[in-house]
Structure formats: structure tokens, C-alpha cells
Chain A
Amino acid sequence: MITLSESAAQHVSNFLAKRGKGIGVRLGVKTSGCSGMAYKLEFADSTEGDDIVFDSHGLKVLVDPKSLPYLDGTELDYTKEGLNEGFKFNNPNVKDECGCGESFQV
């Protein structure tokens, strides 16, 4: 199960509207970075193969089956930190992450 916070959902739907196309947002992980794994956050234009699709606040959240074990239970949030703002993965599977939080280990 992967969910969007209300703030994240609002921003995703704004961005999708602005972009003019797309069915939802795709979350995933890939191997790389200083701590093993890195998040993927992309617009989704279509579902692919065996994508698992969650519905959150009326938006489609797509995850490929290989990524799901590392992300299950994640809530995608949108926050501001000082002048910076953006999306944040609240991922219960993470045991350790690199200083900047861009990559992580499970």
C-alpha cells in the first residue's frame, strides 16, 4: 500500500494539470547512490506491464512490482524546508540513509 498525503495529492494534481497530460505519478526505487538505493519519482503517462496501481485522493499511484517491497507502507508527502520545497518519502522500510537522504538502505 502506498499513499499520498493530502498536501502531496494537491501538488501532484496541480502539476499534472499544468503538464496537460499524464494519468498519475510513478514511484520506484533503483540501485545507485552512496547508500545503495535511490527513489524514483516521475509522471506516469501509461501503466506498464505488471504495474501495481494504488488509488489515493483520486490519483493513481503506480509502482513496479520489483520496487514495491522496498516502498510498501510509504506515504509520499509534500513539505517545505526553509526556502526549499518538494516531495518526501516517508518510508517505514528504511533502516539507514545517506546524509542527504537521497539514497537509502533497507
Chain B
Amino acid sequence: MALLQIAEPGQSAAPHEHRLAVGIDLGTTNSLVATVRSGMAVVLNDDQGHALLPSVVRYEADGRVVVGYDAQARQAKDPKNTIVSVKRFMGRGRKDIAHIESMPYDFLDGEGMVRLRTSQGIKSPVEISADILRTLRLRAEAALGGELTGAVITVPAYFDDAQRQATKDAAKLAGLNVLRLLNEPTAAAIAYGLDNGSEGIYAVYDLGGGTFDISILRLSKGVFEVLSTGGDSALGGDDFDQRVFCWIIEQAKLAPLSHQDARLLLTKAREAKETLTNRAEAPITVKLGSSEYVDLVLTTEIFAEITRTLVQKTLAPVKKALRDAGLGVDDVKGVVMVGGSTRMPQIQHAVAEFFGQDPLNNLDPDKVVALGAATQANLLAGNRAAGDDWLLLDVIPLSLGLETMGGLVEKIIPRNATIPVARAQDFTTYKDGQTALAVHVVQGERELVSDCRSLARFELRGMPAMVAGAARIRVTFQVDADGLLSVSAREQTMGVEARVEVKPSYGLSDDEIAAMLKDGMSHAADDAFRRALREAQVEAQRLIEATQSALKEDAHLLSDAERRTVDAAIIGLQAVLIGDDRRTVDEAMAILSKATEEFAARRMNQGVQRALAGKKIEELNG
């Protein structure tokens, strides 16, 4: 007979109508699935009692797909067909992936998201992730005794549109109905906030296998608000393994390694790291395929020393996130530790020292994200108690805007805006008779387009021809609850419209994402200067074009001497236009304006006379 769970008063489901929902933490190293049973979030174990599912997928030559521990056990034997840390490839092109040359996979050449050649054909990161998600779905369905209504899947706060979309696609492919994508730190806050009921400002420090996220959150009366986020999408426990791996090679003076030996050593490096969580030293002994022998002891001190820069690298985004939230270290009431890598003693120490308090770690750092996701899934599936109507606010990690004249960025949605969000701004045309407008959507904190990430381009065509500045084009940016963007542009008088769902270009490297935020701050003064210069240049160019078009029409209003003065002023302005001294541009503009003052007055008079002579007003606009 079916097993029942205790429902909230008045919420008993009708038979066969249980809304089974799960939260999935799709991690770089390990993945988990959790659900809410009788009001309590629990992680669902496999039939061996394991909570974690290693995010390792192995494609056997006979067509079987093995996921998890069994795949992990075989990874040293056949690295080419055993894919680990696939999350790092999600929505990423070849050139975006760090250490790609040392990876044992057979990558296909080509643009767009990377693809791998395996014994079962060509696989995309989306398909490989789908195999992990499918395994979790089957586990959940066995544990819950029915089909799932839906799932909440967590992603790092730093995931851009490409990575979020790839995650959604993988879930669909795995037969999951995605209720929502949720930022991992936000999920952790849900687990802590609801379970412990503590209010205040919290920092969520999440060091997972492959990603680092820091979020500053405010918890009050059951409402979560993400004040700011930051991090590094290419920093995690794997990097610590890599450091130990390099240390072993260095210490043992090893010759270049085969893929098998490299994988074996990396596994040993990881084991040594885990040993040091509660021991002072870890022996590393291994016999390689090359018949070389490694016999080393890694101590806590050496480990801390060789990973010091990695630990420090996590603290810079923490400082920035605090600044973004307008808060100091003292405002933080508690620090939540998430991710298995926060078990490392040097991380606990560094975080405790930075915040001046011991971090909270009373929930299992490996499970906390999945538990929070399960709680959210349970609510979204409709299993909420009466009066349990808390709100979840999430934010976008990087500002979204578009390119304006001169390669400047006009930010439409500032970073850390809560989502879902829609913002509109009116733009106009730059040239007379302009009937099309190119919209270039960018992401980033810098003032110039060239320093930001290009997300999409589209054109609005078929606008009525009008004089420059007369058209009104409303551009609307909309970010849905999953953080996915759509942009539309609409000409207001005729109602012509064009829109784009952001089909992100996979052109941004992981380092760049992290660097973009840092850049925004460190270049603020520089950017302000360049922006002012660029604005002056755009204005000067407009002035030259306006003068030239007036000259073409009404040159007869000027004497030869006057014409020479105007021409000289134009040439003078053109000469300084390409420089980088804003003052000379301003001065040259002033000279040209003065030179054309009288000309403009005469044109005006002529226009008035024409109007009085019964001419149509349109002709005056030329």
C-alpha cells in the first residue's frame, strides 16, 4: 500500500494526486536530490545508502551509461569515456575552459558549446548533465513512489544565460519539469533560514568542487532578499586538488604523465586533501603505470602553504560583495558555509578570521543546497501551508544594457536588481531619415561596450523616416524568474516591433566573468573619463554632420570668407576628434558653434520667410 506523509492542516492530497517535487543540486563534483517529507527536507539516498551521486558519467562501449560511484571507480582506466566535472563545460566554448589541454577528453573542433567524442558517439555537456539528472530522477521516483510533478534545480549565482539555459535544457532532456532554477546560495539560505528561524544579515560562502559563490543576504520574517552576489565560476575544490597534484609531480620529479597516471594522481591528490580535514598529515603512496613510485607525506602546513593564494582568491569577491551591499564586516550576523570544500580547515580559519566570527556549519555543507531547493520545490508544487506565503527575491549578477552611439553602454537593469524584473527606456534616432535601429545587448559593469560582454544583437526595421531625435523607440528588458533575458524594441508612433530571446554567444571565459566585476570597480574613474570623452566625440560628430548637411542646402547664405571660417572650424574639430583630450574637443566644438551662429540665424530667417510664403512646414526640416 502507498505510504503517506503528514500534510499541513487542510492540505491532504486526494489519492493519486500527490504533488511530488524535488530539489536537485547539480554539482560540479557531486549531485544530490532532496524532497520534503512530512514537512521536513531530507536528502534521498540511493539503494546503497549514498546521499551523494558523483557527477561522473561513463559511456561504455556496449551502450550502457553508468553514472556515479561506479563511473568514478573506472575513471582512471578509461578517462576518455568517463566524464567528470561536466558542469564546467555547460554553455562554454573551447577557449573558455581552463586547463583544457590537460583534459583527457576528445573534444570536437568548432564554435559554440564544446562537444566530446565518446564510445557512444558525440555528446554535449547538456546530454551528459541530463544523464546525471536522469539518474537522480529515477532515484527520486523510486523513493517517492510516483512520478515527479517538478524539480527545482540549483545553479551558481554566477551562471550566465548560456549556462542557465544549458541547465534547463539538460533537465528537460532528463524528463524533468523545471519549476525553477535557483541560485545555490539562495537555496542554502532557505535551508538555514527556515530550519533555524534566525533573522539578520548573512553571508553565504559557497566553495564547491568547481565554483565559488559569495552572497550577502538579508533574512527577515521569513523573507529572503539577496543584497549582493559575487564569486568566481572557475574556482573550487578541484583547484585545490590540482595544486596538490602539481606539488606531487614537483616533489616526486615525475616525467610527463599518461592520461591514466594523471587521473590516478589527481584521485590521490583529492584523497590527501580529504584526509587533512581531520588529520594533521596525509600519506600519498602510488605506483604509476610508468612504473614510477610516489611516496610522499602532505602535511596541513604544506597544504595550507601551496593553496594560500586560492584561499585569498575567495576573499576578494567577499569584500566586493559586502561593498556592493553597502555593508561592512561588522554588519554580518552569521556566515553560512556551503560546499564540501568548506570542510578544509584553512578555509574555516580564513573565513573566521575575515568575518571575526566562527562560520555556521551546523548543516551538512554538501547537502544544504539540495535541502533548500527541496523546500522551494515543495512550495512551488503547491504543497504550502496556509499563511506560508513567503517571498523569495533573487538578483541578477551582472548589469544588462545596450550599446548607444560611440560604443557607450546604457545600463537598463543594474546588477543586483531583484528578479523577475522588467525595465523600459526610450531611445531616439541619431540621423535624419533613419529607418532602422541596431540593438546590441551587453552584460557587464564597464562604461564602454568593448569592455562588456556581448549577449545579442538585433535590428528594428521599418521605422518611419523622421528627423534625428524625433523618433521614440521603447526598449524593454525583461528577466524572468530563472534569470533568462528577453529584449524588445518598439517604435512608438507606428508600433513596429522587434525582439530577441537572448541566445547567448558562448564567447566569455570564466576568468573574464570574475574579472568583469573587479574591472567595473577598479576602472570606475578611468571609465568616467573615457565616457565623458566619448560623449564629447559623439556630440562633435553630430555637430559636424549637422553643419555639413546645412551647408549642402543653404551654402548661398554665406559669403566666401564666412564659408572659409566655417570650413576651417569643421576641419579643426575633425582634427582633434580622434584624440583623447576632451578639452580640445570641447574647445573646437565651441569654435565651430560660434562660426555657425550667424549662419544658423540666417537659415532660421529664411525658414520663417518660406513659411510665411505658404510653404509646407515639413520642407523646413529637410
Contacts and interface: CB of A to CB of B under 8 A. Distances in A.
Interface of A: 11-12, 14-15, 18-20, 25-26, 30, 32-34, 38-45, 79, 81-89, 97-98, 100-103
13 contacts: A12-B6, A26-B9, A33-B16, A34-B15, A38-B14, A39-B12, A42-B9, A42-B11, A85-B3, A87-B6, A88-B1, A102-B15, A103-B15
B177 to A, nearest CB: 21
Contact of A43 (B1, B3, B6): B6
A42 B44 contact: no
A91 B9 CA distance: 22
Nearest to B140: A83
A10 B403 CA distance: 62
A65 to B, nearest CB: 18
A19 B5 CA distance: 14
A68 B45 CA distance: 37
Interface in B1-56: 1-12, 14-16, 37-40, 44-47
B15 A38 contact: yes
A94 to B, nearest CB: 9
What range describes how many residues of B lie at the interface? 20 to 34
Contacts of A84: 3, 142-145
B518 interface: no
A15 B7 contact: no
A83 B12 contact: no
Contact of A41 (B1, B4, B10, B46): B4
Contacts of A101: 1-2
Nearest to A11: B38
Contacts of A12: 6
Given A84-B144, A84-B145, A40 B12 contact: yes
Contacts of B3: 79, 81, 84-88
Given A41-B6, A83-B139, A87-B3, A18 B39 contact: yes
For A30, A83, A89, the residue with the greatest tally of chain B CB atoms inside 10 Å of its CB is A83
B469 interface: no
Given A41-B6, A79-B3, A14 B40 contact: yes
B9 to A, nearest CB: 5
Given A18-B40, A20-B197, A32-B15, A97 B7 contact: no
A98 B12 CA distance: 18
A15 B7 CA distance: 11
B47 A15 contact: no
A100 B15 contact: yes
B2 A30 contact: no
B37 A86 contact: yes
Nearest to B18: A102
A42 to B, nearest CB: 5
Quick one: which of B142, B144, B145 has the most chain A CB within 10 A? B145
Contacts of B9: 26, 42-45
A7 to B, nearest CB: 12
A82 B39 contact: no
A98 B45 CA distance: 29
A43 B8 contact: yes
Contacts of B1: 88-89, 97, 100-102
Given A15-B40, A18-B40, A82-B47, A42 B2 contact: no
Contacts of A100: 1-2, 15-16
B40 A83 contact: no
A100 B47 CA distance: 22
Nearest to B9: A42
Given A19-B39, A30-B12, A83-B47, 12 more contacts: A12-B6, A15-B38, A15-B39, A15-B40, A32-B14, A40-B12, A41-B5, A43-B8, A43-B39, A85-B143, A88-B4, A101-B1
Contact of B12 (A42, A79, A97): A42
Contacts of A11: 38
Give the residue among B10, B38, B47 with the most A Cβ atoms within 10 A: B38
Contacts of A98: 15
A57 to B, nearest CB: 15
Contacts of B142: 82-84
